[in-house]
């Protein structure tokens, strides 16, 4: 909601861990951003999960 309200990229929860099908834990950095049409109207969001497992 914050990304849609502000139109800015929003960093989400810290220390997020996803567990893969093979039970390996993956540490991720996650963020969200608004999706805009050609008129600049916000009509959705995109979530990005980046694997930061070392």
Predicted confidence at residue 25, as pLDDT, reads: 94
Predicted confidence at residue 21, as pLDDT, reads: 95
Predicted confidence at residue 15, as pLDDT, reads: 79
Sign of CA dihedral 36, 37, 43, 46: negative
Token readout for 45 is: 């969001």
pLDDT 10s digits, 1-54? 777 777 778 887 777 899 999 999 999 998 999 898 999 888 888 989 899 998
Nearest-CA neighbor of 16 among 3, 4, 31, 2?
31
CA angle 38, 40, 46 (to 5 degrees): 90
């Amino acid at each position: 909601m914050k990304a849609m309200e502000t139109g800015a990229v929003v960093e989400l929860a810290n220390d997020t861990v996803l567990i893969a099908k093979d039970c390996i834990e993956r540490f991720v950095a996650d963020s969200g951003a608004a999706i805009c049409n050609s008129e600049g109207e916000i009509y959705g969001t995109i979530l990005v999960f980046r694997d930061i497992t070392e």
